[in-house]
Structure 1
């Protein structure tokens, strides 16, 4: 009898322990699955120049300051809620429409307005990086500006990030393949020509030079033109130069980014009159008709987009 009683008690203990163990296992499984699901629901973690941000997938209320990103989203058919309208490139003027909110200036975001919009995602670049922390308090904020020192890698990474966020991976892959094909053709022509180039930014009568690794370094780093001056230091504002300098370097190609010709600029451009003076007329570039005026909307305002990059490559290709 005692043995039977002990066996019964022992069996009950085993059953309870087993039940508890089964319950704990189930709970752990649910917590684990719930955590994974929650993480999926939150979206993807984006590592960018200013940090690491969890971004929701397919956000519907997006504020965009970086025009290269706006360019790409437009190409991919992704609509946005608000943009900085002050200096919109001409080919993106559709975003001046009242259906799009104005998020403020490129260097002075309208924090109050943005906060009232309750966005799901804010995308910025270099001009807004000082506002990153403040914007991050409003919504997940990522920096998708192009790193000029690794232009194509950076451009592709940014495009792929947008593809993942908005479920446009295949479209991005297709567009990048087209760009690679065009670049290969242009680069081969530029390298085989053996021609040297100088890139300058013309602004209100002043001229600055840019080299490899700079904001317009795509021409050297990716498209294969040799530099007329390999000692230009990388800087945001370029190397202030004289026209005597241009004559001394005697480029075969002179690529000019006319800041005054931007659609958001101060008026008509006079860069041609300024650049093609009596001194510069002595250069190979002038004599051979190879002073090339690049579209500043692409090169200055919105570089790094799925529309702007192919357009930039095409401009250089036509010069060859």
Structure 2
């Protein structure tokens, strides 16, 4: 074997040293890049686990109306909404026309359309969309929160989670402080005796669905100082006229569907006529979207104002 001259050996050592330095630099750069990536993401706990989200996401798709409400409360607008193909419903919710893409219905959102929007974040409803969570995750980071059949307090919790996800926690705290002040003012304005019972309900052509103390609007009315006539852990309770007569609430707040209504059939029945709410002219018809579909901090304040206006009328 030939001996390597000292000069050549020195050159080889120098080259090896340079390569080692470069390798170290590359490793440090990779480590720095990884740390930078981690700093540019936020981890959010939601109903189906934890999700890492790009910091301050701008392109957000929402699959429930309450999430539109939440972003509105934070001064943001989604780029895609599961709006049930009803743009007028969204316009009424936000109080103005906004530029967004419909991604289909809340019950069955269009995954292809969502994907085409290349969102930074998808906000989905735990009850409606848990079965398609993995599909949504393949499109973009997704958080699943309580909305449908959520209580008022659960809805507020979802609002806080969304605020963390979009980097608006400070704004959310300020908004919730304003919210509490607004509710306190509305509660003081309410002239109705606080021991009277109230029953909000959705009326369809073949059903009367009472909203209990565990529903969004039911729990919120109790926050205003009223007592829900149906105390139940389940959000909704289907009932017939006989059951309604047994409960006999002081106040009825009805969010009616369009068209034929079951209560139209009941109006000729003595059980209906003898309800305290009917005899005392305290049956109120309210906007179905606002009272039962929107659900959120902004919408709750509108419901509160609506309640005060209706019940304070002489």
1:196 aligns with 2:197: yes
Tell me if structure 2 keeps the 8 A contact 1:190–1:223: no
Question: Residue 17 of structure 1 aligns with which residue?
Answer: none
Give 1:124 shift. Answer: 0.9
Cα 1:211/1:46, change in 2 over 3 Å? same
Structure-1 residue corresponding to 2:136? 135
Change (3 A) 1:34 1:64: same
For the pair 1:40 / 2:39, whether they are aligned, the reply is yes
Q: In 1, are the aligned partners of 2:79 and 2:100 still within 8 Å (CA)?
A: yes
Question: RMSD between aligned alpha carbons?
Answer: 3.4
Q: Give the TM-score taking structure 2 as reference length.
A: 0.76
What are the equivalent positions in structure 2 for 1:209-228 lying under 5 Å apart? 209-219=210-220, 221-228=222-229
Per the normalisation by structure 1, the TM-score is 0.75
Indicate the residue corresponding to 1:111 in structure 2: 111
Paired position in structure 1 for 2:173: 173
Report the more deviating stretch, 273-282 or 61-70.
Answer: 273-282
Aligned partner of residue 307 in structure 2, secondary structure: helix
Give the paired residue count: 285
Per-residue CA deviation, residues 172-201 of structure 1 (Å, 9 max, x unaligned), is 333222221232344565895310122322
Assess if the C-alpha contact under 8 Å between 1:205 and 1:274 holds in 2.
Answer: no
1:89·1:302 contact (CA, 8 Å) conserved in 2?
no
Q: 1:233 to 1:73 in 2, by over 3 A?
A: closer
The structural deviation recorded for 1:104 is 2.2
**In 1: Cα distance, 2:176 partner to 2:128 partner:** 26
* CA distance, structure 1, for counterparts of residue 49 and residue 120 of structure 2: 18
Tell whether the 8 Å contact from 1:148 to 1:217 is kept in structure 2 after alignment: no
Counterpart pick for 1:296 among 288, 294, 297: 288
Deviation at 1:64, TM superposition (A): 1.2
In the aligned structure 1, how far is the partner of 2:191 from the partner of 2:29?
60
Distance (Å, rounded) in 2 between the aligned partners of 1:298 and 1:234: 21
Describe the superposition over 1:259-294 as per-residue Cα deviations: whole angstroms up to 9, x where unpaired: x14xxxxxx464763565543221221222221223
**CA offset digits 1:194-228 (Å, max 9, x no partner):** 10122322111421223211343324552332233
Residues 58/132 of structure 1: CA separation in 2 closer, same or farther (3 Å cut): same
The answer for the alignment partner of 1:234 in structure 2 is: 234
Greater shift in the superposed pair: 98-107 or 57-66: 98-107
8 Å contact from structure 1 (residues 69, 144) kept in 2: no
CA distance in 2, matches of 1:171, 1:269: 44
- 2-structure distance, mates of 1:92, 1:227: 29
Q: Which stretches in structure 1 are left out of the alignment for 5+ residues?
A: 1-19, 262-267
2:9 equivalent in structure 1: none
Q: Where does residue 298 of structure 2 map in the other structure?
A: 307
CA contact under 8 A between 2:277 and 2:283: conserved in structure 1?
yes
CA distance in 1: counterparts of 2:230 and 2:74, whole angstroms: 38
Deviation by residue 1:243-268 (Cα, 9 ceiling, x = unmatched): 2222222211112222x14xxxxxx4
Contact 2:199 2:252 in 1 (8 A): yes
Preserved CA contact (<8 Å) 1:211 1:220: no
Compared with structure 1, are the counterparts of its residues 217 and 228 closer, same or farther at alpha carbon in structure 2 (3 Å cutoff)? Answer: closer
